[in-house]
Structure 1
């Protein structure tokens, strides 16, 4: 049996993520960031999910995704209720998980052609 590697039909793919770093395509990132299948914002000034504020996610909301996958480091940490409510009031889903799970979920949803954004909090 012959196996063929087919590259994704979108620009950015997560190859690895944990609480301290992530690899997007071949770029290793050491600070928090967010991305969509076609856009990467490599500098996002967020350091912890528990302190996340609406102003921190405005740029992500402006991308008008159907779903935001929020990676909160090594552990799943829910953001304040006001952040979750801001997403839901706009009809945008918010899924919170640890970074490795968020990376896998982003890649699956991007591969399905879904309008997804993912934000990753790194301890840097």
Structure 2
């Protein structure tokens, strides 16, 4: 498992390590998809694959009022359907879609900058 190093990150929830199938937030390891922000963690988020992502499933992340929403699609980068992506953009949310490993790294950087970031992460 690759370990991610953090400097001066004051976020209450920090990603410490990730590998396909496992993500470590603070000192807890998760094996199911999660939604994380600097001050909230939603465990056992329903979508377990990128194909299961839907506007409805992403409403949990949207409810956290992010300026930036990172969507980690698992081991590979998968594009969201344009309808889902467009709906998020129309709500004024910056959306970045990437593989989950990249989303974890990006989350740590943005949370360390005290940005209002939320990451919806498919762990598989």
Give me the TM-score of the superposition, normalised by structure 1: 0.89
Give the equivalent residue in structure 2 for 1:54: 55
Give the equivalent residue in structure 1 for 2:11: 10
Count of equivalent residues: 119
Gaps of 5+ in 1: none
C-alpha contact (below 8 Å) 2:20/2:74 kept by paired residues: yes
C-alpha contact (below 8 Å) 1:18/1:73 kept by paired residues: no
CA deviations over 1:41-66 (Å, ceiling 9, x no partner): 01101022233111101111111100
Structure 1 stretches of 4+ moved >3 Å: none
The RMSD of aligned alpha carbons is 1.5
Q: Does 1:79 align with 2:83?
A: no
**Which has more radius of gyration?**
1
Q: Distance in 1 between matches of 2:19 and 2:91?
A: 29
Give me the TM-score of the superposition, normalised by structure 2: 0.89
